[in-house]
Amino acid sequence: MFGSFHRALLAGVLFAAAAGIVTAQDATTAPRNAFERKSITIPRTSGRVVVDGKLDDSAWQDAVRLTDATQYLPQDGAAPSEATEFWLMYDADTLYIAAKFDDRDAASIKRAQLVQGQAVFNDDFLEILLDTYNNKRTGYILYVNPNGVQRDGLGLGGMAFNMDWDGIWDAAAQIDSNGWTAEVALPFKTFSFDRDSTTWGINLLRSIRRKNEEIAWSHHDRQINFDLAGEITGLTGLRQGRGVDIVPAYALTTRTRMEIDDTTTLSKPSLDAFWRVTPSLRAAITLNTDFSATEVDDRQVNLTRFSQFFPEKRDFFLDDAEIFEFATLAQNGRPFFSRTIGLSAGGQPIDLDAGAKLTGRIGRYSVGALAVRQEPFAGIDAKNLLVARAYANILDQSTVGAIVTSGDPKSNGDNTVLGVDFTLRDRLRGTGPIVEAIGWAQRSSTSGLDGDDAAFGLSVGYPNDRWSGSLGAQEIQENFRPALGFVNRTGIRQYDGSLKHRRRFADGRWRSWLTGIDAREITDQNNVLQSRYLTLLPFTLETRAADAYTLAALLEREVLPAPFQLPGGLIVAPGDYSYERWRIKYVAAGFRKLAPSIELEGGDFLAGKRFDTRLGLQYRPNEHVYFDAQYQTNALDMPSGRFTARIYTLAANLAFNVNWAWLNVTQYDNFSGRLGVNSRLRWLPAQGQAAYLVLNYDWREDFDGGFKPVFAETTLKFNYTFRF
């Protein structure tokens, strides 16, 4: 199985690792000093702030000004190449943060993103890490680019993030000949916090994208996690009002199914209401819930025997989603996966009569409860679905918790899951590298199944910049069924290992070199091999401009006990298959106006051959226009025949300004023969207010090579947030 080529690749990986070991320190690394947490007293202002990005309000004279930020990339601890200031103050209702970012080449400031809420990572940006409980574990992540585009998310602990959270806050930015400035207003109504505490954790960061320079007020050894943030003190007399948000919405939809000549018009009012029971505990209800403005799923080719995983995109389930996360399980074995609610197995929407949620913190405990009433669908009765989750903070950065789910949205049977988990995380020598251990156990109870219904796992990790690695083992028994979760492979034992080394360079063309090994072995519960995967990574090389080049070798083995079908109707016979593939990849830096990407992967696959191509081209002539064309092929040459699966995707966005955007996605694949268009005209007059015109069209490929329209849907939707 291991030919000379792969032995050479493995030797290269081991050599790279050895080179990292004998290197005393990276050329770009300043001598390590003990970490000292920064702390400032934040002043209170009685002045009025107009959030326009200009920093000309007299109230800003009250602010404390931070001028001691330093680089953490590429020169760890060096002074910023451009003058950088952060200003902070607050009043009873709002935390105010301003940024004054000088730039001697202001014409080169990167600011391509103009669509509110979209990623700004290819632009210059201001980043705010806000730890409102000062627990040094979790918090809020907020971004603003030079166009005033806002992006936000949640830090879940460690290196886990949820960038789908969407809070209500204001920001604006201005560019002039000296650089750019930003103003941010963070209403205390938006955030959970401990009313009895006067200290929050905070970090303030700046990215200069054309230089790939990252600057932070507080960091250590190139790391900016919440436990390395600074502190602001003196926060007293904070008001959250009554803590009530009422969000009425109305959607008018016309839906046509051409194949049966049927047109229906639906009028759907809905209501979401939020009540902050305490400053750190929030209740929410949703009535007659509407998800018509949700983004469409990306199409995928499934070349495995197992069902695929699609991420959640619906706002009601994304809000406070971090509390329901369990043991950092990414996919297989999750006790709770919100896409099981309100969506059929085929992805069709199922109406929800009502839902209620309680999330937040009580002392050192984080709690979450979700109850949903799902309407009848396709022979399945109306269902009451429940999830409850709680965990306690222990030690410095560790947790221990439990979860319970009840209900089966996909059948008329009953299902319950109970689970417990722990995360032990700490830094060596107090501020040194992170080490962690994660353990979990679950048991399900399902109608018609008895015994063999547990799942459990344990892993240890070393998730750091220069060296990272992990070892893990888990078992998912044959009858483990988390009906409100996600499981696509049962009756297995899985063993994982990973080791990677990153070398950074002070100068020259290359910025960093990543090398490593990933391995996974899966057996049945009697330790009989089912699958083995080994990925050898000689290099991912990143240039100073953030272009990336990757070379990898994949060595795999699959033991198939039964035949299964690939796209195109190709049948793979049972057998023991060992095969090898290679992968090369190039991704251009995303801040470029024209950013191509190419990934080629080829070699043996099961009983035949496989060659994959992924081509991409992003084009941003200016901040108003964005095109992203993607083409993916999977060419299969098997004993049962040949087939090439193709997916074409074109995203075309037109941003008129930061409040108006027309977002379009067109997708086609040749294995379903369907062409789909999702078009959303969106107006955001203010945070918490939105209007949408959503068009969905679907065509099916005809026998003569043309396309026949089969589905059309037009939705007009409005929502408005009232805050009390």
pLDDT at residue 293 in the model: 64
pLDDT at residue 192 in the model: 86
Q: What is the rounded distance in angstroms from the CA atom of residue 529 to the CA atom of residue 520?
A: 11
User: What confidence tier does 38 reach under pLDDT thresholds 50, 70, 90?
Assistant: very high
Mean pLDDT for 389-396 is 92
Cβ count near 656 (within 10 Å): 12
Mean pLDDT for 473-497 is 97
> What is residue 223's DSSP assignment?
B
519 pLDDT more than 60? yes
Q: What is the rounded distance in angstroms from the CA atom of residue 267 to the CA atom of residue 508?
A: 62
pLDDT at residue 262 in the model: 93
Q: What is the pLDDT of residues 303-324, one digit of tens each?
A: 998 888 888 878 778 777 888 9
Q: What is the pTM of this model?
A: 0.85
pLDDT at residue 317 in the model: 83
271 pLDDT more than 60? yes
454 vs 32: which has the higher pLDDT: 454
Mean pLDDT for 269-275 is 93
CA distances from 252 to 170, 265, 354, 428, 713 (A): 29, 7, 19, 57, 10
**Burial tier of 379 (Cβ tally within 10 Å: 0-12, 13-18, 19+):** exposed
| Tokens found for residue 121 | 């990572």
Q: What is the pLDDT of residues 712-721, one digit of tens each?
A: 999 999 999 9
pLDDT at residue 166 in the model: 84
- For the chain, what percentages of helix, strand and coil (3-state, to nearest 5) are there? 5, 55, 40
| 715 three-state secondary structure | strand
240 pLDDT more than 90? no
User: What confidence tier does 371 reach under pLDDT thresholds 50, 70, 90?
Assistant: very high
Residue 353 lies in a domain: no
- Closest by CA to 698, choosing from 715, 714, 674, is 674
Residue 212 lies in a domain: yes
215 vs 342: which has the higher pLDDT: 215
| 11 three-state secondary structure | helix
Q: How many helices (H) and strands (E) does the chain have?
A: 2, 41
User: What confidence tier does 6 reach under pLDDT thresholds 50, 70, 90?
Assistant: very low
722 vs 307: which has the higher pLDDT: 722
14 pLDDT more than 90? no
Give the type of residue at 461. G
492 pLDDT more than 50? yes
Letter string b/e over residues 509-518, b meaning 16 or more CB atoms within 10 A of that residue's CB? eebbbbbbbb
Q: Which of 43-57, 93-107, 271-285, 546-560 has the lowest mean pLDDT?
A: 271-285
459 pLDDT more than 70? yes
Residue 222, φ and ψ in degrees, nearest 5: 65, 15
Residue 58 lies in a domain: yes
Check: CB of residue 710 under 8 Å from CB of residue 699.
yes
What residues contact 344, with CB distance under 8 A and at least 6 apart? Answer: 350, 377, 378, 410
Number of domains in the chain: 1
pLDDT at residue 28 in the model: 43
| Partners of 637 in beta bridges | 609, 642
Give the type of residue at 100. K
Residue 159 lies in a domain: yes
Give percent above pLDDT 70 in the chain.
Answer: 94
Q: Which of 359-368, 465-474, 650-659 has the lowest mean pLDDT?
A: 359-368
pLDDT at residue 8 in the model: 44
Residue 84 lies in a domain: yes
Q: What is the rounded distance in angstroms from the CA atom of residue 634 to the CA atom of residue 613?
A: 7
Q: What is the rounded distance in angstroms from the CA atom of residue 586 to the CA atom of residue 601?
A: 12
Give the type of residue at 620. R
Give percent above pLDDT 90 in the chain.
Answer: 75
CA distances from 710 to 259, 295, 619, 676, 696 (A): 6, 20, 31, 10, 11
What separation, in Å, do the N-terminal and C-terminal C-alpha atoms of the chain show?
67
Q: What is the pLDDT of residues 663-704, one digit of tens each?
A: 999 999 998 899 999 999 999 999 899 999 999 999 999 878
pLDDT at residue 259 in the model: 87
Check: CB of residue 636 under 8 Å from CB of residue 566.
yes
207 pLDDT more than 80? yes
30 pLDDT more than 50? no
Check: CB of residue 370 under 8 Å from CB of residue 386.
yes
β-bridge pairing 352-362 and 365-374: antiparallel
pLDDT at residue 126 in the model: 99
6 vs 626: which has the higher pLDDT: 626
Check: CB of residue 517 under 8 Å from CB of residue 501.
no
pLDDT at residue 330 in the model: 82
Q: What is the pLDDT of residues 553-600, one digit of tens each?
A: 999 999 999 999 999 999 999 999 999 999 999 999 999 999 999 999
Range of the structural domain that residue 225 is part of: 34-233
pLDDT at residue 34 in the model: 65
pLDDT at residue 140 in the model: 93
| Partners of 475 in beta bridges | 456, 493
Mean pLDDT for 637-647 is 96
Residue 459 lies in a domain: no
418 vs 76: which has the higher pLDDT: 418
Residue 53 lies in a domain: yes
pLDDT at residue 428 in the model: 86
Q: What is the rounded distance in angstroms from the CA atom of residue 567 to the CA atom of residue 572?
A: 11
pLDDT at residue 290 in the model: 76
Q: Which of 36-45, 214-223, 594-603 has the lowest mean pLDDT?
A: 214-223
13 vs 291: which has the higher pLDDT: 291
58: domain CATH number? 2.60.40.1190
Residue 660 lies in a domain: no
User: What confidence tier does 432 reach under pLDDT thresholds 50, 70, 90?
Assistant: confident
